[in-house]
Structure 1
Amino acid sequence: MTEPKPDIVFIITDQQRYDTIAALGASHMDTPNIDRLVRNGVSFEQCHVTAPSCVPCRASLFTGYYPHTNGVLANGQPWSKTWVTELARAGYHCVNIGKMHTIPYDAKAGFHERYVVENKDRYMEGRWFFDEWDKALASHGLKKQQRESYRKFPDYKDRLGAFTWDLPPALQSDNFIGETTCWWLETKPVEKPLFLTVGFPGPHPPYDPTPEMAEKYMARDVPLPEVSDEELAALAGPWIAKREHDVEVDHDSVAWKLKPTEAELKRMRSFYYANMEMIDTQVGRILDALEARGNMENTIIIFTSDHGDNLGDHGLSQKWAPYDQVTRVPMIISAPGRFDGGRSLSQMVQLFDLGPTILEWAGVVPDPTFEAISLNPALRGEAFAGRSHVFCEQAGDVNMTGASYLTMVRSETHKLVHFRGSDEGQLFDLVADPGERVNLWSDPAHAPVKQALLNELLEFHIESTMHTRNARHLIVSPPGEDAWQ
C-alpha cells in the first residue's frame, strides 16, 4: 500500500534575523512555539539566502534558480511562475495565506487559493492594491497604520521605524495572518494532501508590536549594535551611499539616522523583537489548529525567513547589504515521525534548496536544471556535505544608489562581496572577524584568498550558465502563454 503524501506547511516570515529564536541561542527572546519546532525538528545553522531583499529572494526560492538565472534581481520586478504548479499536478491542494511578494501581487503562482497580504507599508509599487488585510480593516471602518500617518509624529525621524500598533490587536498584520490561517484550517475540508504557505509580513518594518508586547521588550536587556567610527569610515562606498540615501528617503517608515542614539536603537530593536514574539504566538495557534485536524503524524512543517535585517549593525538600516545579519536566516524542518528531531546541522545550504526538497516529499522529481539542491539526505541522516560556497546577488534596487549589481560569495571561513564595475569590494575573515568589521579587500596578505574567491565567482557564473542553458522555457513563458498559472 502506498504511503499517503504528507501535508506540507511552509511558514515564512519577512526580514527575520537568525538571532531571534530562544532555542537557537537568542536568550533575549521568548519564542516557546518556534522552540517546539526546534526541539522536534532539524535546524540548519548556516542557511543563507540567494538575494538580500524580498522579491528576488522569493522568486529564487519558488523557482529553484539564482536571481541572475530567473532574471529577478530587485524588488518590484515581475515574477509568478513557480514549482508550486508541480505540487498541484501531483495532487496537492495548494494554498497561500499572507505574503508571497509575487509581482503582480495576486498572481496565481500555481496556488488553488490565495489570500494575499503584502507589505505593511506599500509605497514604491502596488501602493493602491487592496489586499485581504486592507479589506478587513476597511470592514471595521479603519485604515492601516502606514507612512502617511507615521510622518505626522513629531519624533518620526527619531523612531527608526518603531511604532506601536494602536488599532485593534486582532487587526495587526501578523495577528491577522495567524487568525486567517487558523480560520482556514478549522473550516476548510480538504481531501487532497495540503501544501499551505503562510507568509507573515513581520518583523519587516514598520516594527509595530502591540503596546503591551513593546513594553515587555523595552523593559529587558536586548543586544544593541556595536559600531565604531573606524568601521563606519572604512565602509565600502556603496554602503556609505546607502546610509546617506536612507537618511533622505524613509523606506518602509524607517527614517534612518547616521548617528542614532542608544535609546533610539534600543526602541527599534525592542519593537522588532516584540514583533517576533507576536509571530511566535501565532505559530503556536497554527500548530494547535494543525493538531486539531488530526494529521500531524503525516505533516511536515517548515519555518524560515526570506532574509534578515542589519538593525543598525554596520551603521545600516534593513537589508540589501549582504552581511550575515541579512543573508543568514533560521531554517527549521519538523516532522518527528519522518525525520529524527532535535538535530542541528552546520553544513552550509541556501534557502532555495527547500524547493527540490519539498517536491521530493510530494513524489515529484525536481527538474535537473534546478540550481537548488535537495536537503533530504541531510534530513534522513545520510552523508551530506552541504555547499562549499553560498552565493547572494542583488541589482537595481532603489536603495543601492552606489552599486548597480553586487555578488557575494561565502565559504565557511571567508566572505567576498564584488561590486560590478568597481575596484572596490569587501573581504572578511569570518574566523578572526565573525562580526565582519575589518575589510581585507586591499590587504596584500589576503590577496591569495581574495583571488581564490573571485575565481569561485567566475566558476559560479560559468557553471550556472551551462547548467541552466536549457531551462529558459521553465522560467519565462512563451509569447501568448499565461505565466500566472
Structure 2
Amino acid sequence: MAERPNIILIMTDQQRYDSISALGFPYAVTPNIDALVEKGVALTNCHVNAPSCVPSRASLFSGYYPHTTGVLANGQAWQRTWVEQLRDAGYRCVNVGKMHTIPYNSDSGFHERYVVENKDRYMEGRWYFDEWDKALAANGLVKQQREHYRKLDDYRDRLGCFDWKLPEALHSDAFVGNMAKWWVETYPTTEPLFLQVGFPGPHPPFDPPARYAEPYLRRNDLPLPRPTKEELRSLHQELKDKRQHDVEVDHDSVVWSLDPSEDQMQRLWAHYLGNVTLIDEKVGELLGSLLERGYLEDAIVIFTSDHGECLGEHGLIQKWSMYDVVTRVPTVIWSTAGRFEGGRSVDGLCQLFDLGPTILEYAGIVPPKTFEAKSLKPALEGKDWTPRAHVFCEQIGDVAMAGGVEFMTGVRSDRWKLVHFKGSEDGQLFDLENDPKEVRNLWSDPAHAERKRELLDVMRDWLIESNFKTRDVMAGAR
C-alpha cells in the first residue's frame, strides 16, 4: 500500500437510498454500483446535513453543520473546502462535474475544475456557461430546458419527465462521465490523486434517453407511492403549502400534481430510475479507465449523493423535507488495496459530512479539531467506533418553501425522528420502529409528549454545544 492512496469521490445529485439493487431495491438496474457495494462497505444509515443541494454540499466539504457554515439554502455563497488541505499535502485535486460552489467557478482547493452544474438553470439569475454549455454550443446545439419544455402541450402533465433527444453523449450525466474518463485517460499519470466526479442527475428534469426509461415503463411491479387521503390531510401545513406551490411553480421543469395518475407515477419512476441506470453505466466506464491507468492499485473509492428525492412519497416531489427518502443517501466506500474488509455494511447512524475527515485521515492529514464531522475510519476498519446517537438536518426558507415557516430543523435517532418548524405550533414526530414509512405523526399525541420534549432538548443541547465548539471558526469567518 502507498502511504497516500488515490481518493475517488463520486457523487450524484438527488439520489434516493432505495434506487440501487444491491441496497435492497431489486427493480433498479445498477450492476456497477452493485459491484461497489459487494466489494466495499455500505453505510446503511448515512443522513445528509441539509435536504437541498447547496447547504448539503457546503457542509460536506467544510466539516461543519449548516448553521455553522451559514449556508442553509440554495443560492448562498460558499467556496472554501477541505480539498485545500489535500492540495497542500501534495494531492493532485481534480473536479469534473457538479460541486455547486457559489461562485460556480471558484477553485475551492482544486488544481483543475471542469464544471457542469444543474441541468435546468432557467431564470435563476446566476447565468454562466459551464463545460456542458460549451460542448453543446460547439456542436451547434442548445440544451433541452424549461423554456423549451413549456411549449409542449402536455408540459403540465409530465411531472418533469422528458426524453433526451439530443445526442446521447451530450446528456449531462453522459457528458460528465465521459469527461472524467477522458481526463483519466489523457492526463499524465499523477499520484496521489483526489478526483471528485459530480453527476448532475438523477436531479430533475427527469430526462434520460428513452432507451434507459423504456424497460422501467414496461414493468408492472414498481412499488409506486400511494399516499392515503388520511396521510395527506395530516401533513404539516408547510408541506401542504409546498404541495400546492409545486403545482403552481415549475421548479427544475417539474409541475407537480395533487393527485397524479398511475400512468404519471409510472413514468416518473421510470425516468428517474432510467437516469440512475445511465449514471451507473458511466460509473462502470470510469472505474474501468481508472483501473487501466493504475489508479485503482491503491485507492479509496466513495460513492454517495447530496440528498434524496420524494418521488411522490407523502404526496411530495423533490426535496425540502426531512423524510428519510430525502435525508438518507446511498453511501459506499471501497478500499482497492485491502485497507479495510469489504463486502459488509455499517448500520450505525452517521452523517454525510463525516466523509470529509475520513478522506483527510486516509490522506495522512489530521482533521481540524473544530470539525463537527467525525471520521468513519474506525468504523471502516472494524475498530472501536461509536455511531452517532442522533443525526441532524437543517434548512431555511428556500424557493419551494412557500408557507410561513422560516426554518426547519430535524433530529433523528435509531428509533425516533422529530422535525421542528420555526414559526409553527405544529411539528412532526415519528416512531421509526413502528412506522418506518413516517405516515403517523405523533406530535400532538399526549402519550408521546415526553418523547417530544426529550428530542427538543437534544436539539437545544446540540445547538449550544455546536455554537461553543465552533466559536473561533465563526469569529474567524467575520
State TM-score, norm by structure 1. Answer: 0.96
1:414 aligned partner: 416
Instruction: Quote how far apart the aligned CAs of 1:401 are.
Output: 1.8
Check if 1:430 corresponds to 2:429. no
CA deviation vs aligned residue, 1:342-387 (integer Å, no higher than 9, x gap): 0111100000000000011111110000000000000111122210
Q: Distance in 1 between matches of 2:437 and 2:210?
A: 32
2:303 aligned partner: 303
Q: Aligned to 1:461, what secondary structure does the other structure show?
A: helix
Correspondences of 1:15-26 after superposition (within 5 Å): 15-26=14-25
CA deviation vs aligned residue, 1:42-85 (integer Å, no higher than 9, x gap): 00000000000000000000000000001000000000010000
Letter in 2 for 1:35: D
CA contact (8 A) 1:93 1:190 kept: no
CA deviation vs aligned residue, 1:425-479 (integer Å, no higher than 9, x gap): 00001011100001100000011110110000001100101111111266x3x6x
Q: Aligned to 2:278, what secondary structure does the other structure show?
A: helix
Q: Distance in 1 between matches of 2:175 and 2:61?
A: 24
Correspondences of 1:261-410 after superposition (within 5 Å): 261-336=261-336, 337-402=338-403, 403-410=405-412
2:81 aligned partner: 82
Letter in 2 for 1:272: Y
CA separation of 1:5 and 1:473: change in aligned 2, threshold 3 A: farther
Instruction: State which of 435, 446, 460 in structure 1 corresponds to 2:462.
Output: 460
Letter in 2 for 1:315: G
CA separation of 1:380 and 1:55: change in aligned 2, threshold 3 A: same
CA separation of 1:435 and 1:467: change in aligned 2, threshold 3 A: same
Correspondences of 1:13-412 after superposition (within 5 Å): 13-220=12-219, 221-336=221-336, 337-402=338-403, 403-412=405-414
CA contact (8 A) 1:42 1:345 kept: yes
1:440 aligned partner: 442
CA separation of 1:341 and 1:122: change in aligned 2, threshold 3 A: same
Q: Distance in 2 between matches of 1:439 and 1:423?
A: 14
Q: Aligned to 2:301, what secondary structure does the other structure show?
A: strand
Q: Distance in 1 between matches of 2:356 and 2:475?
A: 18
1:4 aligned partner: 3
After superposing on structure 2, the runs of 4+ consecutive aligned residues of structure 1 that deviate more than 4 Å are none
CA contact (8 A) 2:115 2:131 kept: yes
Aligned length: 475
Q: Distance in 2 between matches of 1:72 and 1:18?
A: 24
Q: Distance in 1 between matches of 2:38 and 2:369?
A: 33
Q: Distance in 1 between matches of 2:15 and 2:2?
A: 35
Letter in 1 for 2:207: D
Q: Aligned to 2:18, what secondary structure does the other structure show?
A: coil
CA contact (8 A) 2:122 2:147 kept: no
Q: Aligned to 1:296, what secondary structure does the other structure show?
A: coil
Q: Aligned to 1:347, what secondary structure does the other structure show?
A: coil
Instruction: Quote how far apart the aligned CAs of 1:214 are.
Output: 1.3
Q: Distance in 2 between matches of 1:369 and 1:470?
A: 8
Percent of aligned pairs with the same amino acid: 61
Q: Aligned to 2:137, what secondary structure does the other structure show?
A: helix
Unaligned runs of 5+ in 2: none
CA contact (8 A) 2:2 2:298 kept: no
Unaligned runs of 5+ in 1: 479-485
Letter in 2 for 1:375: L
Instruction: Quote how far apart the aligned CAs of 1:408 are.
Output: 0.1
1:481 aligned partner: none
Instruction: Quote how far apart the aligned CAs of 1:219 are.
Output: 0.9
Instruction: Quote how far apart the aligned CAs of 1:396 are.
Output: 2.3
CA contact (8 A) 1:5 1:193 kept: yes
Instruction: Quote how far apart the aligned CAs of 1:126 are.
Output: 4.9
Q: Distance in 2 between matches of 1:190 and 1:459?
A: 48
Of 7-16 and 417-426, more deviation after overlay is shown by 417-426
Instruction: Quote how far apart the aligned CAs of 1:422 are.
Output: 1.5
Q: Distance in 2 between matches of 1:191 and 1:54?
A: 31
Instruction: Quote how far apart the aligned CAs of 1:124 are.
Output: 4.6
Instruction: Quote how far apart the aligned CAs of 1:266 are.
Output: 0.8
CA RMSD of aligned residues (A): 1.1
CA contact (8 A) 1:97 1:180 kept: yes
Letter in 2 for 1:445: A
Letter in 1 for 2:328: R
Q: Aligned to 1:97, what secondary structure does the other structure show?
A: strand
